[in-house]
């Protein structure tokens, strides 16, 4: 198994998008990229911890490639938004790829460059590519939130 970690706005919908991918064996939502150890949701929402809401993905590389996960990532949010997605505003909603190794970093950079050169986006890509650091699992009520509440990845019943 391999791991990947993405931030693309509110983690509920992002998690739901990745859970539908064949080869993804597990997901967890949480926080990464900040400076506070073991932050709570309230602390992250304050904007003072520096964390992004993220989804950590465990996947079987025999069934799904990291490049395919990147395709899902680009498609499940607007990567041109800076520190926001839709009505959610703040650095915790930033678009970020946390690469767990150099291969993922290279693949993420190539994918970002390809998308930028495609002309499909109306504005420059704001997504950052950073080295993965600690992942802090979010509170249990956030895990698989949309599944538990009978909603799709857009929050609809």
Give catalytic residue positions: 10
22: buried, middle or exposed (CB in 10 Å: 19+, 13-18, 0-12)? exposed
Phi and psi based region of residue 23 (left: phi greater than 0; alpha: psi -120 to 50; beta: remaining): left
E strands, 1-152, are 2-8, 24-32, 52-59, 84-85, 88-89, 95-99, 128-131, 136-137
* Strands, sheet with 52-59, edge to edge from the N-terminal-most edge strand: 128-131, 95-99, 2-8, 52-59, 24-32, 136-137
């Amino acid at each position: 198994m391999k791991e990947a970690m993405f931030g693309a706005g509110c983690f509920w919908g992002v998690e739901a998008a990745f859970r539908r991918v064949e080869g993804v064996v597990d997901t967890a939502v949480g926080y990464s990229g900040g400076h506070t150890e073991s932050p709570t949701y309230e602390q992250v929402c304050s904007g003072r911890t520096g964390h992004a809401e993220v989804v950590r993905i465990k996947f079987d590389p025999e069934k799904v490639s990291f490049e395919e996960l990147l395709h899902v990532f680009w498609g499940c949010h607007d990567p041109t938004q800076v520190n926001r997605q839709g009505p959610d505003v703040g650095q915790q909603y930033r678009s970020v790829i946390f690469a767990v190794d150099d291969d993922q970093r290279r693949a993420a950079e190539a994918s970002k460059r390809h998308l930028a050169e495609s002309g499909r986006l109306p504005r420059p890509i704001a997504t950052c590519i950073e080295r993965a650091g600690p992942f802090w699992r979010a509170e249990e009520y956030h895990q698989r939130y949309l599944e538990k509440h009978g909603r799709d990845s857009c929050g609809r019943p």
